[in-house]
Structure 1
């Protein structure tokens, strides 16, 4: 499987989502532009991802890894530290992504 498009999708979405707070409700131009362009790139590359990945698996990987990375980015840049229940939930998401990659026959389509 080709993971390059999925990686670009995830990175673009993480950048866009992380910039949402900086838009100040879309009143600041540059952060707003980053959000719009980031999501456009993410959706475009997600369509390319779907050439080789089943939709459900691709979306699960995108959403799961996106959640984990956005949590890390916002902890670093916005000092929004997750509490222990959030860390436990994020750990379960990581476990889910690992299970899909290691054990799902659908993931090897």
Structure 2
């Protein structure tokens, strides 16, 4: 399977698991807690498969960066968390960092 497809599964699982952490209310709610375990299990399994092909630094940067950005957007959209210029700037920096790391992968080893 294409490593970027696997990485997409890893990111989706991580974002789902992280989003369910809030709904689990400190693991006091059963179904959201189960969703946390499923989400993180999927994320780490798919990430481990991704690492068979893609470099660790690039994979982790994309996984954690996009996961952070998407989880922030879900917090804003679903959990009505505040959005301001500082969050926007932070998201831009995260995405910019991912782009730069990907551009650097073609450089010297």
State the TM-score, normalizing by the size of structure 2: 0.91
Q: Name the residue aligned to 1:90.
A: 91
**Which structure 1 segments of 5+ residues have no match?**
none
- 1:3 is paired with a residue of what secondary structure? helix
SS at match of 2:3: coil
- 1:4-47 Cα deviation digits (max 9, x unpaired): 10000000000000110110110100000000111011000110
Corresponding residue for residue 7 of structure 1: 8
Q: Which runs of 5+ in 2 are unaligned?
A: none
Match of 1:44 in 2: 45
What RMSD over aligned residues (CA atoms) do the two structures have, in Å? 1.7
Task: Indicate whether 1:99 and 2:100 are aligned.
Answer: yes
- Any conservation in 2 of the 1:6–1:62 contact (CA below 8 Å)? yes
Distance 1:33 1:88, change over 3 A: same
Deviation at 1:106, TM superposition (A): 5.3
Q: Please tell me whether the aligned partners of residues 58 and 105 of structure 2 are also in contact (alpha carbons under 8 angstroms).
A: no
Query: What SS class does the counterpart of residue 20 from structure 1 fall into?
Result: helix
